[in-house]
Every structure is written in C-alpha cells, then in structure tokens.
C-alpha cells in the first residue's frame, strides 16, 4: 500500500518543534506566513544526504540545508555509530576542528556538545585550523574519529561537515551508509548548549601541542630531501595567498621552519580570513581570475612564483612567471612535478616505492612508474580512496610516499593520509631549490624535460551544470544507448576500452568486472580511444555538475593538444548534447 507524504505544513511544524535556533526558526516561520510552499518543499521535504564526503550545503533553515539542527543530528548519529563500531570509542575520543566560514565555530561547538552528551573525550582546536590538522590529530591522539567543519572552496553561503575515521582517512563505504542510518535513528536533539565545550572536563584544547607535532612531521618529510637547509644561499622569491582562508598561520610556520622566511611575500590583500571572500565568488585557486590579485602582488614584489591555498588550505596551486607571462600549472602538471622530485630523491628500493593517482588524473604517473620501476595504483576520485589505498599498500610492504588528484590535491602520506596544501607546498619549495642546484632550472623547464622523457600529456577538462539529478542520469543513460555492450565510436575515433563504474562493466577484464569499486548511485564512465586519448565523464558528488576529463598522450605536443581538443568537441556534440538536456557550460 502506497504511503502518503505529509503536507508541507506538517514538516514545517516538525521543524519548529525541534529547532531552537531563533534565526532559522524565523526563516521557516516567515516562509509559512508567506505561504511559500515551493521554498518550504525545497528546504524540508528531503533530508540532507550524508555520504563519504559527509555533509555540504547552503547555510539556511531546513532539513536539506546546513544549520544547527542538521549538525546536531549528524553528530548524534555519528557518535552512536562510532560507539557501535569502535571498542572503547568514548575514551579514545573525537577530534573537532573548524575553518573561518560563517557559523563554522558555532557548528563545531554544537558538534562538541553532541559528543560530550554521549560522554566522549573531545580533542578541541581552539581557533580556526586548516583541514589536514583534523586527520593529523586523529592519528596523533589515537582518536576514534574526527570532524572538520568546512566547505573547502565552495561559495560563501555554503558550509560542510567532514568526517574522518580512526585511521586518519576520510570515511568510505560501508561507514557512510551506517552513519546515514544512525543519523535517522538519532534525530531528537539532546543538547543545544554551545558553551558545553567550555564547561565540560571531557573537552581538552589541544592546538598548541598538535601544531608542534605537525611542524615536526612536515619537517621530517622535508628532511628526507633537506635541500633548503643544505643550500641556504638559494633565493626563491615567491608570493603566497591564503585566499581569505585559514592558511596563513600554518604556511608561515612551515616556511619559517625550513628557513625560507626571507623569500616569502604574503599577498596581504587576501591574507586574513574573511567569510565573504571579497572578489572571489568561488574561492578556488583553479577558477579563472582567482589569482589576479596574487599576480599583481607578485609582480610588485619581483617574485617569480605564486603559491596559493584554498580557504581550508588542503589544496595547493602554483604559478610561475615564464618569459614575462604567468603560467598557472594545472593540477596534473603540479602533481607530476612533485612526483618527479620524490622519485629522483628517493634513496630506498624503487620497487618498494608506491605512488597513487585517481582515475580522473593524468596517466603520466603510470607511464613514469613503468619506466622508473616504482609501484603505481589507481583509485576512484577522492582522497578517501587514496588515503585508504596508501594504508593498504604500506601493509603490503610498500613505502607509499605520494598521491595526487587533478583538482590540485596532493597527499604527502608521511604527514597525513589526505590532501594537504601546506605539506605539498613545503615539498614543492624543496623541489625548487633542488632543481636550482642540480640543473639550474625552474619548475616550468623541469616540466618540459619530463615531457621529453615520458611524452606529452595534454588535457581538456570542463564541466556542465545540470538542472537536476534526473537529467544527469538521463544524459548518462543516453550515452550508454549509443552501442551494445558499449559505444564503438566517438566521432571518428574507435573506442578501444570501456569501463562503466555505475553498471559495473569493464571491457578490459576477463570477467568484465571492474577492478575499482562500483556504485549504481554514482554516474561514471571511462573510455580509451584511438590516438592515445582517455576520456572520463562523471557526475559530481557534491555539486550539480557533469564533469569531463580528457587527456591525450603523444610524443609531440601539438598532436597531444589537437587530440584532447577534438575529443572534447566530439563528446559534447555527440554524447552530452547540452542544448537538448538544458546543460549550462562552465
């Protein structure tokens, strides 16, 4: 027998019954007064989904949004799930951090209150921190879990709730499903006391000792190379922007620790936290124009390099002035530069050295592994997969030193099993000094040398905004209808390999089962085409986007560039058909 969904007024009454935040209560009351049923439906009918990325949404009233109530409910569900899964979980405790966005500290306080109410030990960061300090703290304290309140580089009105497991990695299935179910079983708020973290003996402020340990860990990773300290005469003038986020404090301490403080030029206009991110509607270093202020500042100071971290400082972008023009390295290019430095300076058995890249990232690392003799592994997108894979490889006897993703994320596992803009920046600065001393070369010229050795890899990445999840599914279903068991061509090129991680089918394996995890709720197709081109298209898990990743490999740069551009044209024209589906281009 079909169930009837409750009227929207009943959902609004349920919200008002449990919400104790006067601001969000007023929002719902106003919408009721205005009889704005469309907005009430959007905010109340569907609950915000908890997944492997935790929670992320716009900050406003409603069960589908980020607000005090949904944070309390998520925290109570997480606490109960951790109790079920982890022996002596309460004593081991939970690490809680937050960035400088609006409401981040308030959400963190309520998270702490929810765990204290369940008698958990809480390791509390007293000021805004960069995201990697939470997984770092989880490992240092042996905590059961960690929570970071951040929306990374999302627009100013968004916020999020990121969860780490006791291994210091972001959660992966089945934990996401288990936590989601536990949240639904623990919806009634037990505490709205934002001051409980100040009053409870279960809460311990811990930023100072953890920062000392973090600096030591970054320095130990750097000490593997030690090129800055061995060559103090080197002068690497670089500008740094925190993009109105939390990165300045942590970057400054790391730079000072390796002796490059005299080379360090801070972009003062974006140095300090500002939750409005003035001039940066999308505070992401990858976005067009995001580095304009940094370029002006670098030119003014005579710096030839720019380093940028996103607002929670877990991503790193780099630009270099080449022949009078600024070149911003793509995520893949910077990823390969860092990998090349680590490979060159690694003193152990190369057969035991392991590196990781996600499936949407450059295949160049895999080619380098074949030629240099180290171990390479591919994972699904997201550092939750790469962090856990690093732990698996280390357990198998490998020495996992590095992982990267094309979206300017870089993991130095000796520091954290997650992306870390500060640790990556320190590795990059050591690389710059090393290249200066060994070959009298710059990052840009080093990259050209790598292309000559391994071939040219040109990319054409973009995305389209989809009007709804239903339309997104329709787009992918239509792609699959172009051929059975898979489309044989894309434009003039033959499809050589086909992998569908939604349906769980792979043309390149004997049983046609993919070696990577599949998920019928997440759209993702990868194919290899004639001419050395690889194409992946997937639906974003956190935004209403259909993302396209194309890379062409050739011994000649013009051919690689031409191949990538032509495949992008063909996939948009023949498979996506934006006009028919109402897709908006980037």
Q: Look at residue 368 in the predicted model and tell me its pLDDT.
A: 98
d(C-alpha 333, C-alpha 406), whole Å: 8
Cis bond upstream, residue 236 (ω within 30):
no
467 alpha-carbon distance from chain centroid:
23
Question: Which residue spans within 212-304 are E strands per DSSP?
Answer: 238-241, 264-266
Assigned token pair, 257: 């620790």
Regarding whether 498 and 579 lie in a shared domain, the answer is yes
Least confident window among 47-56, 215-224, 358-367: 215-224
3-state SS assignment for residue 481: coil
2 within a domain of the structure (yes/no): no
Catalytic residue IDs: 152
Q: Quick one: average pLDDT of 548-562?
A: 97
Is pLDDT above 90 for 117? yes
Last residue of a domain, one of 147, 172, 205: 205
**Who contacts 141 (Cβ-Cβ below 8 Å, separation ≥6)?**
92, 93, 95, 123, 206
pLDDT in tens, 442-466: 999 999 999 999 999 999 999 999 9
Regarding whether 522 and 437 lie in a shared domain, the answer is no
Regarding whether 312 and 427 lie in a shared domain, the answer is yes
Regarding whether 391 and 285 lie in a shared domain, the answer is yes
Assigned token pair, 164: 């780490």
Q: Look at residue 244 in the predicted model and tell me its pLDDT.
A: 97
**What is the residue whose two structure tokens read 């489309």?**
487
Q: Which candidate, 339, 361, 342, 341, places its Cα nearest to that of 407?
A: 361
3 within a domain of the structure (yes/no): no
Assigned token pair, 436: 């200066």
Taking every pair of Cα atoms in the chain, the longest distance, rounded to a whole number of angstroms, is 79
Cis bond upstream, residue 174 (ω within 30):
yes
**What is the residue whose two structure tokens read 């019954």?**
17
Q: Strand pairing partners for 96? A: 124, 147
d(C-alpha 90, C-alpha 93), whole Å: 5
**Who contacts 10 (Cβ-Cβ below 8 Å, separation ≥6)?**
none
329 within a domain of the structure (yes/no): yes
98 within a domain of the structure (yes/no): yes
Assigned token pair, 2: 């079909």
Which residue range is the domain that position 559 belongs to?
458-585
Regarding whether 263 and 172 lie in a shared domain, the answer is no
**Who contacts 60 (Cβ-Cβ below 8 Å, separation ≥6)?**
24, 27, 43, 66, 67, 157
Is pLDDT above 80 for 224? no
Q: Quick one: average pLDDT of 299-322?
A: 97
Backbone dihedral region for residue 93 (phi beyond 0: left; psi -120 to 50: alpha; all else: beta): left
Query: 203-205 and 122-124 as β-strands: parallel, antiparallel, unpaired?
Result: parallel
114 within a domain of the structure (yes/no): yes
Residue 260 banded pLDDT, cuts 50, 70, 90: confident
In order of 62, 253, 441, the CA distances from 69 in angstroms are 9, 36, 54
Regarding whether 277 and 384 lie in a shared domain, the answer is yes
Is pLDDT above 90 for 229? no
519 within a domain of the structure (yes/no): yes
Question: Which residue spans within 331-426 are E strands per DSSP?
Answer: 353-358, 375-379, 399-405, 409-411
Residue 1 banded pLDDT, cuts 50, 70, 90: very low
- The half-sphere exposure of 188 on its side-chain side, counting CA atoms within 13 A, is 0
Q: Look at residue 228 in the predicted model and tell me its pLDDT.
A: 58
Regarding whether 339 and 198 lie in a shared domain, the answer is no
Regarding whether 19 and 58 lie in a shared domain, the answer is yes
Regarding whether 330 and 225 lie in a shared domain, the answer is yes
Q: Quick one: average pLDDT of 83-109?
A: 98
Q: Strand pairing partners for 306? A: 239, 319
Is pLDDT above 60 for 388? yes
Regarding whether 246 and 180 lie in a shared domain, the answer is no
> CATH number of the domain that 515 lies in?
3.30.310
In order of 36, 70, 176, 410, the CA distances from 27 in angstroms are 11, 15, 30, 40
What are the helix and strand counts (H, E) for the chain? 21, 24
d(C-alpha 188, C-alpha 6), whole Å: 19
Q: Which candidate, 204, 20, 178, places its Cα nearest to that of 96?
A: 204
> CATH number of the domain that 141 lies in?
3.40.120.10
Q: Which candidate, 415, 574, 427, 438, places its Cα nearest to that of 493?
A: 574
Backbone dihedral region for residue 15 (phi beyond 0: left; psi -120 to 50: alpha; all else: beta): alpha
d(C-alpha 161, C-alpha 150), whole Å: 6
Assigned token pair, 567: 């495949």
Last residue of a domain, one of 171, 205, 239: 205
Residue 227 banded pLDDT, cuts 50, 70, 90: low
Is pLDDT above 60 for 295? yes
In percent, the amount of the chain with pLDDT more than 70 equals 97
Last residue of a domain, one of 454, 487, 519: 454
pLDDT in tens, 22-61: 999 999 999 999 999 999 999 999 999 998 889 999 999 9
Question: For residues 149 and 102, is the Cβ–Cβ distance under 8 A?
Answer: no
pLDDT in tens, 119-171: 999 999 999 999 999 999 999 999 999 999 999 999 999 999 999 999 999 99
Backbone dihedral region for residue 289 (phi beyond 0: left; psi -120 to 50: alpha; all else: beta): left
Is pLDDT above 50 for 392? yes
In percent, the amount of the chain with pLDDT more than 90 equals 89
1 within a domain of the structure (yes/no): no
pTM: 0.94
Is pLDDT above 60 for 499? yes
What is residue 527's DSSP assignment?
A: E
Question: For residues 532 and 544, is the Cβ–Cβ distance under 8 A?
Answer: no
Average pLDDT, the chain: 94
Regarding whether 518 and 398 lie in a shared domain, the answer is no
296 within a domain of the structure (yes/no): yes
Count of domains in the chain? 3
CA dihedral (439, 440, 442, 447) in degrees, to 10, reads: -20
Regarding whether 189 and 101 lie in a shared domain, the answer is yes
Q: Quick one: average pLDDT of 543-548?
A: 90
């Amino acid at each position: 027998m079909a169930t009837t969904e409750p009227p929207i007024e009943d959902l609004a009454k349920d919200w008002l019954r449990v919400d104790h935040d006067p601001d969000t209560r007023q929002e719902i009351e106003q919408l009721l007064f205005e009889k704005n049923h469309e907005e009430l439906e959007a905010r109340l009918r569907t609950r915000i989904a908890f997944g492997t990325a935790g929670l992320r949404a716009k900050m406003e009233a409603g069960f589908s949004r980020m607000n005090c109530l949904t944070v309390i409910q998520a925290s109570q569900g997480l606490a109960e799930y951790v109790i079920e899964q982890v022996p002596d979980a309460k004593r081991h405790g939970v690490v809680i951090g937050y960035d400088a966005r609006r409401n981040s500290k308030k959400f963190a306080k309520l998270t702490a209150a929810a765990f204290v109410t369940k008698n958990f030990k809480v390791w509390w960061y007293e000021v805004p921190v960069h995201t990697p300090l939470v997984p770092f703290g989880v490992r240092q304290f042996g905590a059961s879990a960690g929570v970071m309140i951040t929306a990374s580089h999302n627009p100013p009105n968004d916020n999020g709730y990121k969860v780490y497991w006791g291994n210091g990695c972001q959660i992966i299935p089945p934990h996401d499903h288990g936590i989601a179910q536990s949240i639904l079983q623990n919806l009634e708020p037990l505490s709205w006391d934002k001051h409980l973290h100040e009053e409870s003996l279960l809460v311990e402020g811990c930023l100072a000792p953890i920062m000392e340990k973090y600096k030591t860990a970054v320095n130990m990773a750097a000490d593997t190379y030690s090129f800055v300290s061995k060559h103090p005469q080197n002068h690497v003038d670089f500008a740094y922007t925190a993009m109105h986020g939390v990165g300045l404090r942590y970057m400054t301490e790391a730079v000072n620790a390796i002796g490059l403080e005299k080379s360090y030029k801070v972009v003062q206009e974006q140095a300090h936290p500002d939750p409005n991110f003035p001039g940066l509607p999308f505070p992401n270093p990858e976005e067009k124009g995001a580095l304009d202020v940094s370029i002006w500042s670098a030119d003014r100071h005579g710096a030839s390099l720019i380093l940028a971290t996103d607002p929670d400082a877990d991503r790193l972008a780099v630009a270099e002035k080449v022949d009078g023009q600024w070149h911003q390295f793509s995520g893949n290019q910077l990823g390969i530069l860092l990998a090349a430095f680590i490979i060159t300076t690694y003193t152990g058995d190369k057969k035991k050295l392991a590196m990781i890249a996600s499936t949407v990232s450059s295949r160049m690392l895999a080619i380098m592994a074949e030629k240099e003799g180290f171990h390479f592994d591919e994972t699904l997108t997201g550092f939750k997969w790469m962090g856990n894979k690093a732990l698996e490889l280390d357990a198998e006897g490998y020495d996992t030193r590095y992982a990267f993703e094309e979206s300017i994320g870089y993991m130095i596992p000796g520091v954290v099993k997650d992306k870390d803009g500060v640790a990556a920046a320190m590795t990059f600065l050591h690389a710059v000094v090393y290249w200066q001393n060994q070959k009298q070369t710059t990052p840009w010229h080093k990259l050209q040398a790598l292309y000559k050795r391994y071939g040219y890899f040109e990319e054409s990445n973009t995305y389209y905004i989809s009007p709804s999840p239903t339309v997104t599914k329709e787009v992918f279903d239509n792609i699959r209808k172009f051929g059975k068991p898979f489309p044989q061509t894309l434009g003039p090129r033959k499809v050589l390999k086909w992998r569908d991680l939604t349906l769980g089918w792979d043309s390149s394996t004997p049983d046609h089962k993919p070696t990577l995890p599949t998920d019928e709720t997440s759209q993702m197709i990868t194919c290899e085409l004639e001419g050395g081109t690889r194409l992946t298209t997937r639906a974003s898990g956190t935004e209403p986007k259909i993302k396209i990743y194309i890379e062409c490999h050739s011994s000649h740069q013009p051919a690689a560039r031409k191949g990538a551009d032509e495949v992008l044209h063909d996939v948009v024209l023949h498979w996506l058909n934006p006009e028919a589906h109402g897709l908006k281009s980037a």
